[in-house]
Amino acid sequence: MGTYLNKIRIYYLMEKIIQLQNINFSYGENKTIDNVSLDIGKGVYGLLGPNGAGKTTLMKLLLGFLIPSSGSGRVLDFDIATGRKEVRKRIGYMPENDCLMPGMDGVTLTAYLGELSGMPRQEAMKRAHEVLYYVGLEESRYRKVETYSSGMKQRLKLAQALVHDPALLFLDEPSSGMDPKGRREMLELIKDIAGKESMNIIISTHLLPDVEYTCRQVIILNNGQVAAERDVSSVSTDRFNRFNIKIQGETERFLNKLQSLNCTISENDRGLYSILLPKEQSPRNLFKIALESHVQIRHFQQSQTTLEDTFVSAVGVSNDH
Protein backbone atom coordinates (compact mmCIF):
# COMPACT_ATOMS: atom_id res chain seq x y z
CA MET A 1 0.00 0.00 0.00
CA GLY A 2 2.88 2.30 0.81
CA THR A 3 4.31 1.93 -2.68
CA TYR A 4 0.99 2.75 -4.22
CA LEU A 5 0.73 5.88 -2.09
CA ASN A 6 4.25 6.84 -3.12
CA LYS A 7 3.28 6.40 -6.74
CA ILE A 8 0.26 8.63 -6.30
CA ARG A 9 2.33 11.15 -4.45
CA ILE A 10 4.96 11.31 -7.16
CA TYR A 11 2.75 11.46 -10.23
CA TYR A 12 -0.25 13.18 -8.77
CA LEU A 13 1.88 16.08 -7.66
CA MET A 14 3.45 16.27 -11.08
CA GLU A 15 1.69 18.99 -13.06
CA LYS A 16 3.18 18.06 -16.39
CA ILE A 17 3.37 14.41 -17.37
CA ILE A 18 4.95 15.11 -20.74
CA GLN A 19 7.03 18.12 -21.69
CA LEU A 20 8.39 18.59 -25.18
CA GLN A 21 10.48 21.54 -26.26
CA ASN A 22 11.17 22.26 -29.91
CA ILE A 23 11.29 18.61 -30.87
CA ASN A 24 12.32 17.89 -34.44
CA PHE A 25 12.60 14.59 -36.21
CA SER A 26 13.23 13.70 -39.84
CA TYR A 27 13.22 10.50 -41.83
CA GLY A 28 15.97 11.42 -44.26
CA GLU A 29 14.81 14.56 -46.06
CA ASN A 30 11.25 14.21 -44.82
CA LYS A 31 10.62 16.27 -41.68
CA THR A 32 7.93 14.38 -39.78
CA ILE A 33 8.01 16.33 -36.53
CA ASP A 34 8.52 20.04 -36.95
CA ASN A 35 9.46 22.04 -33.88
CA VAL A 36 6.81 20.57 -31.61
CA SER A 37 6.49 21.98 -28.12
CA LEU A 38 3.86 20.43 -25.90
CA ASP A 39 2.95 20.28 -22.25
CA ILE A 40 0.66 17.42 -21.38
CA GLY A 41 -0.80 17.42 -17.93
CA LYS A 42 -2.65 14.82 -15.92
CA GLY A 43 -5.71 13.04 -17.22
CA VAL A 44 -6.80 11.64 -20.53
CA TYR A 45 -5.55 13.18 -23.77
CA GLY A 46 -6.61 12.35 -27.29
CA LEU A 47 -4.09 12.51 -30.11
CA LEU A 48 -5.73 13.21 -33.45
CA GLY A 49 -4.44 13.92 -36.89
CA PRO A 50 -4.82 12.94 -40.52
CA ASN A 51 -2.54 10.34 -42.09
CA GLY A 52 1.04 11.56 -42.20
CA ALA A 53 0.40 14.20 -39.54
CA GLY A 54 3.22 12.87 -37.35
CA LYS A 55 1.18 11.03 -34.72
CA THR A 56 3.11 7.82 -35.26
CA THR A 57 6.46 9.52 -35.00
CA LEU A 58 5.43 11.52 -31.94
CA MET A 59 4.31 8.33 -30.18
CA LYS A 60 7.58 6.62 -31.10
CA LEU A 61 9.50 9.56 -29.68
CA LEU A 62 7.51 9.50 -26.46
CA LEU A 63 7.97 5.75 -26.09
CA GLY A 64 11.68 6.07 -26.71
CA PHE A 65 11.72 4.06 -29.94
CA LEU A 66 13.17 7.07 -31.77
CA ILE A 67 15.57 9.79 -30.66
CA PRO A 68 14.74 13.39 -31.67
CA SER A 69 17.20 15.04 -34.01
CA SER A 70 16.94 18.21 -31.96
CA GLY A 71 15.00 19.54 -29.02
CA SER A 72 14.38 17.95 -25.68
CA GLY A 73 11.58 16.13 -23.98
CA ARG A 74 10.63 14.57 -20.69
CA VAL A 75 8.08 11.87 -19.96
CA LEU A 76 7.19 11.45 -16.27
CA ASP A 77 10.22 13.62 -15.62
CA PHE A 78 12.65 11.30 -17.43
CA ASP A 79 14.52 12.42 -20.51
CA ILE A 80 13.12 10.72 -23.61
CA ALA A 81 16.59 10.31 -25.12
CA THR A 82 18.66 9.20 -22.13
CA GLY A 83 16.08 7.77 -19.73
CA ARG A 84 14.30 5.39 -22.07
CA LYS A 85 14.39 2.41 -19.72
CA GLU A 86 13.05 4.49 -16.85
CA VAL A 87 10.24 5.80 -19.06
CA ARG A 88 9.33 2.32 -20.29
CA LYS A 89 9.24 0.99 -16.75
CA ARG A 90 6.49 3.48 -15.93
CA ILE A 91 4.38 3.35 -19.05
CA GLY A 92 1.92 0.87 -20.45
CA TYR A 93 1.54 0.60 -24.19
CA MET A 94 -1.34 -0.93 -26.08
CA PRO A 95 -0.24 -1.22 -29.73
CA GLU A 96 -2.70 -0.89 -32.57
CA ASN A 97 -1.57 -3.88 -34.60
CA ASP A 98 -1.98 -7.47 -33.58
CA CYS A 99 0.99 -8.56 -31.57
CA LEU A 100 1.31 -11.67 -29.51
CA MET A 101 3.63 -14.44 -28.50
CA PRO A 102 2.41 -17.72 -29.91
CA GLY A 103 2.14 -20.83 -27.81
CA MET A 104 1.21 -18.94 -24.66
CA ASP A 105 -2.15 -18.68 -23.00
CA GLY A 106 -3.54 -15.29 -22.04
CA VAL A 107 -2.59 -15.42 -18.39
CA THR A 108 0.96 -16.67 -19.05
CA LEU A 109 1.55 -13.97 -21.64
CA THR A 110 0.24 -11.21 -19.38
CA ALA A 111 2.29 -12.45 -16.41
CA TYR A 112 5.40 -12.82 -18.58
CA LEU A 113 5.08 -9.23 -19.79
CA GLY A 114 4.55 -8.13 -16.19
CA GLU A 115 7.81 -9.84 -15.30
CA LEU A 116 9.55 -8.08 -18.17
CA SER A 117 8.35 -4.82 -16.66
CA GLY A 118 10.06 -5.78 -13.40
CA MET A 119 7.28 -7.42 -11.42
CA PRO A 120 8.17 -10.35 -9.15
CA ARG A 121 7.03 -13.62 -10.76
CA GLN A 122 4.31 -14.60 -8.29
CA GLU A 123 2.85 -11.12 -8.13
CA ALA A 124 2.91 -10.86 -11.91
CA MET A 125 0.85 -14.05 -12.17
CA LYS A 126 -1.63 -12.89 -9.52
CA ARG A 127 -1.99 -9.51 -11.13
CA ALA A 128 -2.34 -11.08 -14.61
CA HIS A 129 -5.42 -12.97 -13.39
CA GLU A 130 -6.82 -9.74 -11.96
CA VAL A 131 -6.36 -7.60 -15.05
CA LEU A 132 -7.67 -10.31 -17.37
CA TYR A 133 -10.72 -10.53 -15.19
CA TYR A 134 -11.02 -6.76 -15.28
CA VAL A 135 -10.92 -6.54 -19.09
CA GLY A 136 -13.43 -9.36 -19.43
CA LEU A 137 -11.19 -12.25 -20.43
CA GLU A 138 -11.72 -14.34 -17.32
CA GLU A 139 -13.26 -17.20 -19.33
CA SER A 140 -10.54 -17.27 -21.98
CA ARG A 141 -7.43 -16.67 -19.92
CA TYR A 142 -6.20 -20.27 -20.31
CA ARG A 143 -6.74 -20.33 -24.06
CA LYS A 144 -3.80 -19.98 -26.44
CA VAL A 145 -3.61 -16.35 -27.55
CA GLU A 146 -3.44 -17.22 -31.24
CA THR A 147 -7.00 -18.58 -30.98
CA TYR A 148 -8.38 -15.25 -29.68
CA SER A 149 -10.79 -13.19 -31.79
CA SER A 150 -9.75 -9.65 -32.72
CA GLY A 151 -11.91 -8.19 -29.96
CA MET A 152 -10.30 -10.50 -27.42
CA LYS A 153 -6.87 -9.57 -28.67
CA GLN A 154 -7.72 -5.89 -28.09
CA ARG A 155 -8.70 -6.71 -24.52
CA LEU A 156 -5.56 -8.75 -24.03
CA LYS A 157 -3.45 -5.87 -25.28
CA LEU A 158 -5.12 -3.60 -22.75
CA ALA A 159 -4.53 -6.16 -19.99
CA GLN A 160 -0.81 -6.46 -20.75
CA ALA A 161 -0.51 -2.67 -20.77
CA LEU A 162 -2.14 -2.49 -17.34
CA VAL A 163 -0.50 -5.45 -15.65
CA HIS A 164 2.32 -3.49 -14.00
CA ASP A 165 0.00 -0.60 -13.11
CA PRO A 166 1.76 2.10 -15.13
CA ALA A 167 1.56 5.79 -14.41
CA LEU A 168 1.04 6.61 -18.07
CA LEU A 169 -0.89 4.55 -20.56
CA PHE A 170 -0.54 4.87 -24.33
CA LEU A 171 -3.54 3.45 -26.15
CA ASP A 172 -3.26 3.16 -29.88
CA GLU A 173 -6.65 2.76 -31.57
CA PRO A 174 -8.02 0.93 -28.52
CA SER A 175 -11.41 0.12 -30.01
CA SER A 176 -10.32 -0.89 -33.49
CA GLY A 177 -11.62 -4.23 -34.72
CA MET A 178 -14.25 -4.47 -32.01
CA ASP A 179 -17.98 -4.97 -32.42
CA PRO A 180 -20.25 -2.17 -31.11
CA LYS A 181 -20.80 -3.88 -27.77
CA GLY A 182 -17.10 -4.60 -27.34
CA ARG A 183 -16.25 -1.04 -28.35
CA ARG A 184 -18.64 0.38 -25.78
CA GLU A 185 -17.14 -1.86 -23.11
CA MET A 186 -13.61 -0.88 -24.07
CA LEU A 187 -14.49 2.82 -23.81
CA GLU A 188 -16.12 2.16 -20.44
CA LEU A 189 -12.96 0.45 -19.25
CA ILE A 190 -10.85 3.40 -20.41
CA LYS A 191 -13.16 5.79 -18.65
CA ASP A 192 -12.98 3.72 -15.50
CA ILE A 193 -9.18 3.59 -15.61
CA ALA A 194 -9.06 7.30 -16.32
CA GLY A 195 -11.00 7.89 -13.15
CA LYS A 196 -8.02 6.74 -11.12
CA GLU A 197 -5.99 9.63 -9.81
CA SER A 198 -2.51 8.40 -10.64
CA MET A 199 -3.29 7.04 -14.10
CA ASN A 200 -2.73 9.22 -17.14
CA ILE A 201 -3.77 8.17 -20.60
CA ILE A 202 -2.91 9.20 -24.14
CA ILE A 203 -5.21 7.83 -26.81
CA SER A 204 -4.25 7.94 -30.44
CA THR A 205 -7.29 7.27 -32.57
CA HIS A 206 -9.11 8.06 -35.76
CA LEU A 207 -12.48 7.83 -34.09
CA LEU A 208 -13.55 11.25 -32.92
CA PRO A 209 -16.49 9.90 -30.86
CA ASP A 210 -14.00 7.81 -28.87
CA VAL A 211 -12.03 10.92 -28.04
CA GLU A 212 -15.17 12.87 -27.18
CA TYR A 213 -16.34 10.09 -24.91
CA THR A 214 -13.12 9.39 -23.06
CA CYS A 215 -10.78 12.38 -23.25
CA ARG A 216 -10.47 15.56 -21.30
CA GLN A 217 -8.12 17.23 -23.76
CA VAL A 218 -7.39 16.76 -27.42
CA ILE A 219 -4.21 17.48 -29.36
CA ILE A 220 -4.51 17.74 -33.12
CA LEU A 221 -1.42 17.25 -35.21
CA ASN A 222 -1.01 18.31 -38.80
CA ASN A 223 2.10 18.31 -41.00
CA GLY A 224 4.27 17.43 -38.03
CA GLN A 225 3.08 20.40 -36.01
CA VAL A 226 0.55 20.89 -33.24
CA ALA A 227 -2.45 22.34 -35.09
CA ALA A 228 -4.71 22.65 -32.06
CA GLU A 229 -4.90 21.78 -28.41
CA ARG A 230 -8.35 21.91 -26.85
CA ASP A 231 -10.33 21.04 -23.82
CA VAL A 232 -12.92 18.59 -25.16
CA SER A 233 -15.67 19.89 -22.87
CA SER A 234 -15.20 23.43 -24.14
CA VAL A 235 -15.18 22.55 -27.82
CA SER A 236 -18.83 23.54 -28.24
CA THR A 237 -18.16 27.00 -26.90
CA ASP A 238 -14.78 27.31 -28.48
CA ARG A 239 -13.53 29.51 -31.27
CA PHE A 240 -16.30 28.88 -33.76
CA ASN A 241 -20.02 29.09 -34.24
CA ARG A 242 -21.47 26.52 -36.54
CA PHE A 243 -24.32 27.35 -38.92
CA ASN A 244 -26.11 25.14 -41.38
CA ILE A 245 -27.47 27.18 -44.30
CA LYS A 246 -29.13 26.59 -47.63
CA ILE A 247 -28.60 29.24 -50.28
CA GLN A 248 -29.72 30.20 -53.75
CA GLY A 249 -28.04 32.61 -56.16
CA GLU A 250 -24.38 33.42 -56.82
CA THR A 251 -23.06 30.74 -54.56
CA GLU A 252 -19.40 30.95 -55.56
CA ARG A 253 -19.07 34.66 -54.83
CA PHE A 254 -20.79 34.20 -51.48
CA LEU A 255 -18.54 31.30 -50.46
CA ASN A 256 -15.38 33.14 -51.54
CA LYS A 257 -16.32 36.10 -49.37
CA LEU A 258 -16.96 33.81 -46.43
CA GLN A 259 -13.58 32.20 -46.86
CA SER A 260 -11.98 35.62 -46.69
CA LEU A 261 -13.51 35.85 -43.19
CA ASN A 262 -11.60 32.63 -42.22
CA CYS A 263 -14.72 30.52 -42.30
CA THR A 264 -14.42 26.77 -42.86
CA ILE A 265 -17.08 25.54 -45.25
CA SER A 266 -18.26 22.09 -46.15
CA GLU A 267 -21.21 21.00 -48.26
CA ASN A 268 -23.27 17.87 -47.77
CA ASP A 269 -25.00 15.86 -50.50
CA ARG A 270 -28.32 17.67 -49.96
CA GLY A 271 -26.84 21.08 -50.79
CA LEU A 272 -26.65 22.15 -47.17
CA TYR A 273 -23.58 24.17 -46.26
CA SER A 274 -21.98 23.81 -42.87
CA ILE A 275 -20.14 26.99 -41.97
CA LEU A 276 -17.74 27.40 -39.07
CA LEU A 277 -17.77 31.11 -38.37
CA PRO A 278 -14.99 32.47 -36.13
CA LYS A 279 -16.29 33.65 -32.78
CA GLU A 280 -15.20 37.25 -33.42
CA GLN A 281 -17.46 37.43 -36.47
CA SER A 282 -21.12 38.28 -35.95
CA PRO A 283 -23.70 35.99 -37.58
CA ARG A 284 -25.20 39.18 -39.04
CA ASN A 285 -22.17 39.28 -41.36
CA LEU A 286 -23.47 36.17 -43.07
CA PHE A 287 -26.64 37.97 -44.07
CA LYS A 288 -24.68 41.09 -45.04
CA ILE A 289 -22.43 39.07 -47.35
CA ALA A 290 -25.44 37.24 -48.75
CA LEU A 291 -27.04 40.54 -49.61
CA GLU A 292 -23.86 41.83 -51.27
CA SER A 293 -23.47 38.59 -53.23
CA HIS A 294 -27.11 38.53 -54.36
CA VAL A 295 -27.72 35.27 -52.56
CA GLN A 296 -30.90 34.23 -50.82
CA ILE A 297 -30.57 32.36 -47.56
CA ARG A 298 -33.36 29.78 -47.64
CA HIS A 299 -32.44 27.93 -44.47
CA PHE A 300 -30.47 29.12 -41.46
CA GLN A 301 -29.82 27.09 -38.36
CA GLN A 302 -27.20 27.35 -35.67
CA SER A 303 -25.87 24.01 -34.47
CA GLN A 304 -23.38 22.89 -31.84
CA THR A 305 -19.73 22.73 -32.82
CA THR A 306 -18.29 19.29 -32.40
CA LEU A 307 -14.81 17.88 -32.04
CA GLU A 308 -14.99 17.09 -35.73
CA ASP A 309 -15.45 20.80 -36.45
CA THR A 310 -12.41 21.60 -34.39
CA PHE A 311 -10.51 18.89 -36.23
CA VAL A 312 -11.66 20.15 -39.62
CA SER A 313 -10.86 23.76 -38.86
CA ALA A 314 -7.44 22.83 -37.44
CA VAL A 315 -6.45 20.50 -40.22
CA GLY A 316 -8.28 22.22 -43.04
CA VAL A 317 -9.72 19.06 -44.59
CA SER A 318 -12.99 17.39 -43.98
CA ASN A 319 -12.59 13.80 -45.03
CA ASP A 320 -9.05 12.79 -44.24
CA HIS A 321 -9.42 11.57 -40.72
Binding site for another protein (CB under 8 A): 1-4, 7, 47, 51, 55-56, 59-60, 63, 65-66, 84-86, 88-89, 91-93, 95-103, 112-113, 115-120, 123, 127, 130, 133-134, 136, 146, 160-162, 164-165, 170, 172-173, 189, 192-193, 195-196, 198-199, 204, 206
Closer by beta carbon to another protein, 92 or else 151: 92
Closer by beta carbon to another protein, 190 or else 255: 190
Closer by beta carbon to another protein, 115 or else 250: 115
Spatial contact of 106 and 145, defined as CB atoms under 8 Å apart: yes
Residue 278: partners with Cβ closer than 8 Å, 6 or more residues away: 239, 240, 261, 262, 263
Closer by beta carbon to another protein, 196 or else 294: 196
Residue length, the chain? 321
Closer by beta carbon to another protein, 83 or else 249: 83
Spatial contact of 163 and 123, defined as CB atoms under 8 Å apart: no
Q: Whole-number minimum distance, CB 306 to another protein, in Å? A: 22
Q: Whole-number minimum distance, CB 310 to another protein, in Å? A: 19
Q: At 211, which amino acid appears?
A: V
Q: Whole-number minimum distance, CB 60 to another protein, in Å? A: 5
Q: Whole-number minimum distance, CB 97 to another protein, in Å? A: 5
Rounded Cα–Cα distance for residues 214 and 165 (Å): 19
Closer by beta carbon to another protein, 100 or else 265: 100
Query: Torsion angle of alpha carbons 249, 253, 257, 262, nearest 10°?
Result: 90
Q: Whole-number minimum distance, CB 213 to another protein, in Å? A: 17
Sort residue 173 into left (φ over 0), alpha (ψ -120 to 50) or beta.
left
Going by their DSSP bridges, the two strands 273-278 and 217-222 should be labelled as unpaired
Q: Whole-number minimum distance, CB 203 to another protein, in Å? A: 10
Spatial contact of 171 and 187, defined as CB atoms under 8 Å apart: no
Residue 231: partners with Cβ closer than 8 Å, 6 or more residues away: 216, 217
